Amino acid sequence: GRVLEDVHIRFGDRIMFANSNVDNDSMLASRYGIRNLPSVLIFTSGNVLTEITGTFEADDLEARLYDLI
> Per residue in 9-62, pLDDT tens?
999 899 999 889 989 999 999 999 999 999 999 999 999 999 999 998 999 999
Distance CA 30, CA 35 (A): 8
Model pTM?
Answer: 0.82
pLDDT attached to residue 69: 84
Judge whether residue 63 has pLDDT over 90.
yes
Amino acid making up residue 30: S
Distance CA 41, CA 49 (A): 8
